[in-house]
Structure 1
Amino acid sequence: MYSLLLVDDEPNILKSLRRTLNRLEDEQGQLIQLDIDSFDDPMEALKAAETKSYAAVISDYRMPQMNGVEFLLFFKTKQPDAVRIILSGFSDIEGMIAAINEAQIFRFLAKPWHEDELRYTLLQGFATRRLLIENRQLADTVRKERELINKHEALLAKLEAESPGITKVHWGPNGEILLDED
């Protein structure tokens, strides 16, 4: 199950988004369970983000309290791994640039949106988020393994310094261990 946050100052848009995303299916036709919260006040949405984790957030660009970029910047500080999507009925180039560069949004979609495009974008966002989290976990595992290897190498170096040759094994042509190189 994925938690999704919708933010738009127009309640009808929120209802429409909820209706569009209420039945989300993956590429195999499997129904994806969404826990959808919607807010017409970005400040209330930010409060909700303090207590609940969201996999994705879809925000309107133009809202009276704050614009979508400002909202997503605040949201990003609370939940940096959430997929961030902006919807806008206006073609504001400066706003798009700010959304991409500052809020690091996943997609900028136009209103009125195409339902299939919105669904597909959300599915792509979930997949991208999953890969980013897996990559971070793998990188953490590699770091821990490197630390362990470095400790072992340091121990071997210490042993070698104390007793030269103790960590070196000389093998014979038939797989025997040679105690003396001669």
Structure 2
Amino acid sequence: MTRILLVDDEPNILSSLKRTLNTRDEFDGTSPGYEIHTFNEPRAALVASESQQFDLVISDYRMPDMDGVAFLTDFRYLQPDCIRIILSGQADLTALLRAINDVEIYRFLSKPWNDFELRSTVSGALRFRTLQLENQRMADELRQIRAQANRQEEELRRIEAESPGITQVNWGDDGSVRLDED
């Protein structure tokens, strides 16, 4: 199940976000079924994120105790693979640049948000995360295959150095092994 973390100092915003994200699709009646955790205190959200993994986090930019960029910077160290989104009613260029450059956010959404845009952004962000994790898994697998091939190549060189010619096999047209060139 997809786990989403919402952080905003206004409880009404948290309720509205949660309701919007878990709204049933008007065409097929299905609900995304996100497991949504809400916090109106960024430090409490950080404590929770030490023991719980999240797939996506949406944070308000302006909060009294800690702004969204500071929160997401700390959060990023705990969960670097989690997709990060900032929501703000007062977007200024400096805040936007800090969010992009310091925290590598996926999107910056403004308040009030458009429900369809919010749900589409979250859906797209989660698909992007899935692709990132799959690429990472495939890259790790490729590194393991290359390491194994390198070990095998090194072993072949060692065997060939011990017994020259032993790693070279002459195959006959019928699939037999030829012991000499004649």
* Unmatched tracts of structure 2, length 5 or more: none
TM-score, structure 2 normalization: 0.92
Root-mean-square deviation over aligned CA pairs = 1.8
Amino acid at match of 2:163: S
- For the 8 Å contact 1:86–1:105, the answer to whether it is kept is yes
1:117-156 alignment to 2 at 5 Å?
117-156=117-156
**1:4/1:104 Cα in 2 relative to 1: closer, same or farther (>3 Å)?**
same
Contact 1:69 1:99 in 2 (8 A): yes
Q: Tell me which residue corresponds to 1:82.
A: 82
Counterparts of 2:29 and 2:148, CA distance in 1: 44
Indicate the percent of aligned positions where both proteins have the same amino acid.
50
Deviation of the 1:44 alpha carbon: 0.9
Alignment correspondent of 1:105: 105
1:111–1:137 CA distance, 2 compared to 1 (3 A) = same
Which range is displaced more, 167-176 or 7-16? Answer: 167-176
Could you say which residue in structure 1 is the equivalent of 2:162? Answer: 162
1:83 Cα deviation (Å)? 0.8
Post-superposition offset of 1:30 = 4.8
User: Residue type of the partner of 2:35?
Assistant: D
Q: Please, what TM-score do these two structures have when normalized by structure 1?
A: 0.92
- In the alignment, what sits opposite 1:4? 4
Closer, same or farther: CA 115–12 of 1 in aligned 2, 3 Å: same
Counterpart secondary structure, 1:45 = helix
Q: How far apart are the structure 2 equivalents of 1:172 and 1:144? A: 34
Residue 54 of structure 1 pairs with residue 39 of structure 2: no
